A and B are shown apart, each in its own frame.
Chain A
Amino acid sequence: MSEATEHLDHAHSHHHPSGIKRWLYTTNHKDIGTLYLWFAFIMFLTGGAMAMVIRAELFQPGLQIVEPNFFNQMTTVHGLIMVFGAVMPAFTGLANWLVPMMIGAPDMALPRMNNWSFWILPFAFLILLSSLFLEGGGPAFGWTFYAPLSTQYSADSTALFVFSVHIMGASSIMGAINVIVTIFNMRAPGMTWMKLPLFVWTWLITAFLLIAVMPVLAGAVTMVLTDKFFGTSFFNAAGGGDPVMFQHIFWFFGHPEVYIMILPAFGIISQIVPTFSRKKLFGYASMVYATASIALLSFIVWAHHMFTTGMPLVGEMFFMFATMLISVPTGVKVFNWVATMWRGSLSFEVPMLFAIAFIVLFTIGGLSGLMLAITPVDFQYHDTYFVVAHFHYVLVTGAVFSIMAAVYYWLPKWTGHMFDVTLAKWHFWCSLISVNVLFFPMHFVGLAGMPRRIPDYALQFADFNKWISIGGFAFGLSQLIFLAVLIKACRKQGVPVDDRVWEGAEGLEWQELPSPAPYHSFETPPVIK
């Protein structure tokens, strides 16, 4: 290992590419983490702009602003960008920055592959976005690309969609392999498994989920490609295939995928809550086992997305109970966070505000998920705005809020300066209020029967939709405050911070490294107490 680090040092001390080449050629985990995070943020704004188009069209009933086909492209590409372009790369960026610093490693295990896994990503999204400008438009079949919508009723640009998903998948798989190898082989001496910070644990488990299901997604898009262009009949009943099988294959990927987007969030919250409660995390071991059991259960619940496809009763019962079982380990986590705060010396810095909002709002999303798991009522909720409300509570106030919490928590460690706290608090409160105006009424219109993915709606939903759209615009604008905080932070205009930054912070990155963290950290492994 020392040979490898010496070689790296050698390369860096004698040849420092500058300008764009520094970022193109970089193999440094901090540089790549930064690239991932900025890319994710740009994609977050891009996907957000599409959400604004959707909400503008839905501001009042009737068709005003966009054609229905373009509306469908917006819902599809919004979903794809937010899942594969914003949330997943943001978590990978955080892993790149934090995993080596948290386990006392000098860098990621496979730095050159790390560079690759980032730099193919912008091309994937260029391909996807460019398809919107082609004749017939981009993908308009929903991010779930159900056959036969994607195989028989789609535009020719479907080929571009397929290739971009292939590239995104390759990027995620390389990132996941890198995380696993780093955690297995590069922990500092004495950093035993049950001493790993929870963010590292949750990312390790997420990485295993990624390498298990991203290849299945690659297979599914390949089958769509050959069905559409090369005359195969995987999903075409006329040729002996089965369109319902598409849903089975897709959700075999899709359900673990939703845990890929939430397990690292659990890790982040488990780092932040103890710091600002000034207590050790309650139930560390149970957190690890709960994460692992959520990951295992995620493989046997996929058909709860398909209750209305005409499954036999036994199947519906199995998937209903298996899904409900997941609320047990998830409940363990929520109770552990609350127990960590119980009788702690709480203080409410910005990361803690986001973390507490996460706990409350993610739990609301979890509860609506439990409602959706109940087969007989799912027949009413299926494909309505209730589902939209559910997954936005777990993904926006869940995953996205945890990413914001993480950025505010570690930003001073990255830059060496405190961010603009006043502006950050404005960002928090504006986001918190607007996100609830945006997503909470969706529960009501969903229960009343408003279907999702349709550009027009019945008159009785008009008032609620107006509020939802106003909440949406406000939430979108609030993220510009975040952009301002980030730009100011990168210009290092704030007060310099000490090494530990936050009073109660524990862990190698706070206690063993200066702020800002040096370009090369832990060239000699730290001593683990």
Chain B
Amino acid sequence: MAAANNALVAKLVCIVLGMFGFGFALVPLYDVFCDLTGINGKTNREAAVYRTQDVDSNRTVRVEFITRVNAGMSWQFEPVSPSVTVHPGELTRVEFKVHNPQAEGVWGQAVPSVSPGTAALYLNKTECFCFEQQHLLAGESLTMPMQFYVDPQLPEDIHFLTLQYTLYKVAGDTAATNLERRF
């Protein structure tokens, strides 16, 4: 009996440990799932390569830009033009303005999100300030370029896309700053 109990307990403990691991495994799985299906509105994180494409000049798609600054970030951040109308397959360049009104230099990182989420897979950026972190000196202003094209495979029922950037303050060493804030 004792042996049978131990064997069963060992199996059950394995399930428990396995499920504890599974909880953490959900984190990468979630990202993989969202990347494959594009349902999270996350766009490509590295520059896409633009090859000469058939520009579908019969169709137009309006792309709107929204900018937002996260709590704790003091920069001013806005698109030069709030929206552009493009043909799928056409390479387009837009610009965003940032200004750091603070008396000290700050690092920032913009995180993009596309709505409707399913369109994220079709909005390809060949050049974007969101691929890396920005540093602005005290009072500095900057115009940041972004170049993209909409994949001609974009589903027919989608006529406009919204691309939102949220600008976050980046701490040099996140952990150290958290501690600093707390104590």
**Which residues of A does B touch, CB under 8 Å?**
1, 4, 109-110, 156, 173, 177, 180-181, 184-186, 211-220, 223, 229-231, 233-234, 237-240, 242, 244-245, 248-249, 252-253, 310-312, 315
Contact = CB atoms under 8 A, between A and B. Distances in A.
Contacts of B19: 211-216
B9 A177 contact: yes
A283 B118 CA distance: 46
Interface string B147-181: 00000000000000000001011100111101000
Given A177-B12, A180-B12, A245 B27 contact: yes
B16 A156 contact: no
A312 B117 contact: yes
Given A1-B1, A110-B9, A249 B26 contact: yes
B39 A237 contact: no
B166 A237 contact: yes
A252 B9 CA distance: 24
Interface in B50-86: 70
What 10 A-B pairs come out closest when comparing CB atoms?
A: A219-B23, A231-B175, A238-B168, A215-B20, A215-B19, A1-B1, A216-B23, A231-B174, A312-B39, A177-B12
Contact of B5 (A185, A217, A223, A312): A185
B20 A219 contact: yes
Contacts of A216: 19-20, 22-23, 26
Interface in B24-41: 24, 26-27, 30-31, 37, 39-40
A185 B6 CA distance: 11
Given A110-B5, A215-B22, 5 more contacts: A177-B13, A185-B1, A237-B111, A245-B30, A253-B23
A138 B159 CA distance: 48
Contacts of B70: 238
Contacts of B1: 1, 4, 185-186
Contacts of B26: 216, 245, 248-249, 252
B139 to A, nearest CB: 23
B15 interface: yes
Contacts of A238: 70, 109, 111, 168-170
B39 A315 contact: yes
Contacts of A220: 23
9 contacts: A110-B9, A181-B9, A219-B20, A219-B23, A223-B27, A231-B178, A238-B109, A249-B26, A312-B37
A326 B27 CA distance: 27
Contact of A185 (B8, B16, B37, B115): B8
Contact of A310 (B117, B174, B175, B182): B117
Nearest to A245: B30
Contacts of A173: 16
Contact of A212 (B5, B9, B15, B174): B15
A129 to B, nearest CB: 24
A451 to B, nearest CB: 22
B140 to A, nearest CB: 21
Interface in B109-133: 109, 111, 115, 117-118
A153 B39 CA distance: 28
Contacts of B13: 177
Residue from B70, B166, B169, B174 having most chain A Cβ neighbours under 10 A: B174
A216 B27 CA distance: 12
Interface residues of B, number: 40
Contacts of A249: 23, 26-27
Interface of B: 1-2, 4-5, 8-9, 12-13, 15-20, 22-24, 26-27, 30-31, 37, 39-40, 70, 109, 111, 115, 117-118, 166, 168-170, 173-176, 178, 182
Contacts of B173: 231
Nearest to A5: B1
Contact of B16 (A211, A230, A252, A312): A211
A230 B20 CA distance: 20
Nearest to B13: A177
B163 to A, nearest CB: 15
A351 B30 CA distance: 46
A213 B23 CA distance: 9
Contacts of A184: 8
A447 B18 CA distance: 42
B77 to A, nearest CB: 14
Contacts of A223: 24, 27
Contact of A219 (B2, B8, B24, B37): B24
A216 B22 CA distance: 7
Given A173-B16, A180-B12, A211-B15, A4 B2 contact: yes
Contacts of B37: 312
A311 B37 CA distance: 12
Nearest to B116: A312
A218 B12 contact: no
A109 B5 contact: yes
Contacts of B170: 238
Contacts of B20: 215-216, 218-219
A162 to B, nearest CB: 14
Residue from B8, B12, B15, B17 having most chain A Cβ neighbours under 10 A: B12
A80 B50 CA distance: 53
A497 to B, nearest CB: 34
A117 B70 CA distance: 44
Nearest to A185: B4
B15 A248 contact: no
Given A110-B5, A156-B182, A215 B12 contact: no
A109 B7 CA distance: 13
Contacts of B118: 312
Nearest to B1: A1
